[in-house]
A and B are shown apart, each in its own frame.
Chain A
């Protein structure tokens, strides 16, 4: 028998063991590649920017002199932007998910909406920027203010929030809602008292993760036309604004003229990264804390 021929088996054995080791190495390298690049980025950014982070930098206004420039305007801009994005995406996202999972009859319409949401999640962010420019900035004549930027960002992350919320709702065993209906609860009471509390951790996790995407997003705001000029701190959602990633973008551009701007960009990246890190960690903490077993 060919298979039990010892010499052939031994000859192949060497190759098989070699291939086994090679496969392990290959996958290990691909896993560490990303980590390595991230480490290089961190080193680069931190070594260049950390000494420029001080109170004056964090609370100061933009300035034509790099040594006096601060990012308070961008921090406030990011804050106001989130104040628009969070309620809009939470309401529309969770609302859409509830409709699709709890009310809509599984059929062609739902299939169509579902496919559209999946497609929207894949649309490049710059296209959302053009949408925002056309609809919010020009058609609704809002101008390039926080509200217009926030609504654009909300649309951008909406598909992610919808899909995360749908999955959170779908993960609740049907026995839960059946128990509620069985006691004579209406659909809305069931959603309110059983579905939403049980789905909340999953929904929040998805929302926070998508929010950190919105905080770091630049392209749509470039299209909407965020001024690179010295503007006063935004005091509300109808003010013109800039955000942290935009600041990084402009300072990196300017660094070809004045080299010091590159340091400011690095310092801003550190602030942005820490913000995102805090947000993502809180998402993980929420997920672990409220994870329920049924």
Chain B
């Protein structure tokens, strides 16, 4: 297969003077089927620690499926068959060795549509820590404040922490969802088109937020917006029809892609 050959060179072709980052996720020969439809084909890809990795590609190319495989949310939505291996810090996450609850505590997820719980702002952020057994009120207060500050939302909500989260605007709700993730102190945050339901100003705030937190957490973001990928990511992977076409430094992908398909997609010739 053409794709396979290409992949061999792609992920590690990055030899430049930037500091070499350690992969936190390593994917080898990942195949995924929804029933009989082959959604992911032989994916080989790494996600590096404390970097922003953008995943781009046209609708239905498998980018969201791949993202949801990384915290095994894909199994909740539909019946799937998975083969191959995905390791998180060296541990295979596809078997039963690692409980999904533990994996999802270390790997948070932000969804396309902001989905705060029908609870107060405080309770939304405290949900994760509570689920993982923190009951101490002072501790929870501290986590809530800290997470909201990291998500650049504290100043806007500090006076109405105990009001419903539904009173917030869409952009604020999405930042609340990011704060909710941060409250569990994850090592990775997966973002599935987090700004596609938001206006440009809110989108900008989320992008700034991503840049601010990427020193502490690894971020993998699926996006339809190529400018967004170019603006915020360190590395970019291009998916097409369930295959990974190219994965490289974002600057390389956007200026000098090694595959013609990538070039065509980035320049809007299809997709």
- Contact residues of A with B, CB < 8 Å? 173, 175-186, 189, 193-194, 197-198, 292-294
In Å, the complex CA distance between A176 and B124 comes to: 11
Would you give the shortest CB distance from A179 to chain B, in whole angstroms?
5
- Bound CA span A177–B101, Å: 14
Additional pairs, 16, CB under 8 Å, beyond known A175-B115, A179-B180: A176-B118, A178-B73, A178-B111, A179-B116, A182-B71, A182-B111, A183-B104, A183-B131, A184-B100, A184-B103, A184-B104, A184-B128, A184-B132, A193-B127, A194-B117, A197-B118
Q: Report the separation of the CA atoms of residues A22 and B118 in the bound assembly, to the nearest whole angstrom.
A: 48
Find the residue from A175, A186, A197, A292 having the highest chain B CB count within 10 A. Answer: A175
B interface majority secondary structure: helix
B1 at the interface (CB under 8 A from A): no
User: Complex: how many Å from CA A278 to CA B156?
Assistant: 44
Q: A183 near B71 (CB under 8 angstroms)?
A: no
| Docked pose: A176 CA to B117 CA in angstroms | 6
Q: Which residue of B lies closest to A179 (CB)?
A: B115
Contacts of B76 in A (CB 8 A): 177-178, 181
Secondary structure of the A side of the interface? helix
Any A CB within 8 A of the CB of B184:
yes
Residue B166 at the chain A interface, CB threshold 8 Å: yes
Select which of A184, A193, A198 is within 8 A of B102 by beta carbon: A184
A198 touches B115 (CB 8 A): no
B266 at the interface (CB under 8 A from A): no
Q: Give the docked Cα–Cα distance between A201 and B44 (Å).
A: 48
Q: A-B pairs with the 7 shortest C-beta distances?
A: A184-B105, A175-B115, A184-B104, A182-B109, A183-B128, A185-B131, A179-B115
Check if A183 sits within 8 Å of B111, measured CB to CB: no
Cα A99 to Cα B104 in complex, Å, equals: 24
B24 to chain A, nearest CB (A): 17
Residue of B nearest to A183 (CB): B128
Inter-chain contact total with CB atoms closer than 8 Å: 68
Question: What are 18 sample pairs from A and B whose C-beta atoms fall under 8 A apart?
Answer: A176-B117, A176-B118, A178-B73, A179-B116, A179-B180, A180-B127, A180-B131, A181-B73, A182-B73, A182-B104, A182-B109, A183-B104, A184-B102, A193-B127, A193-B131, A197-B118, A198-B118, A292-B118
Interface presence of B4 (CB below 8 A): no
Contact of B181 among A183, A189, A293, A294 (CB under 8 A): A183
Q: Which of A176, A180, A184 has the most CB of B within 10 A?
A: A184
Q: How far is B181's CA from A169's CA once the two chains are assembled, in angstroms?
A: 25
Q: Which residues of B contact A (CB under 8 A)?
A: 71, 73, 76-77, 100-105, 108-109, 111, 113, 115-118, 127-128, 130-132, 166, 177, 180-181, 184
Nearest CB of B to A46, in Å: 43
* Residue from A175, A183, A292 in contact with B108 in the complex, judged by beta carbons closer than 8 Å: A183
Return A270 CB to nearest CB of chain B, in Å. Answer: 41
Residues on B with beta carbons closer than 8 Å to the beta carbon of A193: 127, 130-131
Give Cα distance in the complex from A194 to B130, angstroms: 13
Taking CB atoms, residues of chain A closer than 8 Å to B103 are 184
Beyond A175-B115, A194-B117, is A183–B166 a contact (Cβ under 8 Å)? no
Q: Are B181 and A178 in contact (CB under 8 A)?
A: no
On whether the beta carbons of B184 and A184 are closer than 8 Å, the reply is yes
B166 / chain A contacts, CB cutoff of 8 Å: 293-294
Q: What is the CA–CA distance of A179 and B101 in the complex, to the nearest angstrom?
A: 13
Q: Which residues of B contact A175 (CB under 8 A)?
A: 111, 113, 115
Closest chain A residue to B164, Cβ basis: A292
Considering only CB atoms, which chain B residue lies closest to A293 in the complex?
Answer: B166
Interchain nearest-CB distance for B3 vs A (Å): 30
Q: In the assembled complex, how far is the CB of residue B236 from the closest CB belonging to chain A, in whole angstroms?
A: 24
B100 to chain A, nearest CB (A): 8
Report chain B residues within 8 Å CB of A181. Answer: 73, 76, 104
Q: Are A183 and B115 in contact (CB under 8 A)?
A: no
Q: Please indicate the chain A residues that have their CB under 8 angstroms from the CB of B128 in the complex.
A: 183-185
Complex interface: chain A residues within 8 A of B116 (CB): 179
Nearest chain A CB to B193 CB, angstrom units: 13
Contact B131 A179 (CB under 8 A): no
Q: Are B117 and A180 in contact (CB under 8 A)?
A: yes
Please give me the residue from chain B that is nearest to A181 by CB atom: B76
B115 lies within 8 A of A176 (CB): yes
Within the assembled complex, what's the spacing in Å between the Cα atoms of A178 and B102? Answer: 15
Q: Nearest residue in A to B113 (C-beta to C-beta)?
A: A175
CA distance A179 to B184 in the complex (A): 13
Give the CA-CA distance A173 to B112 in the complex, in Å: 14
Chain A residues lying within 8 Å of B180, measured Cβ to Cβ, are: 179, 183
Contacts of B115 in A (CB 8 A): 173, 175-176, 178-179
B residues near A177, Cβ cutoff 8 Å? 76
B111's partner among A179, A197, A198 (CB-CB below 8 A) is A179
Question: Complex: how many Å from CA A183 to CA B118?
Answer: 16
From residue B77, how far is it (CB to closest CB) to chain A in Å?
Answer: 8
> Would A183 and B127 be within 8 Å (CB), given that A178-B111, A178-B115, A292-B118 are in contact?
yes
Complex Cα distance, B103 from A274, in Å, reads: 56
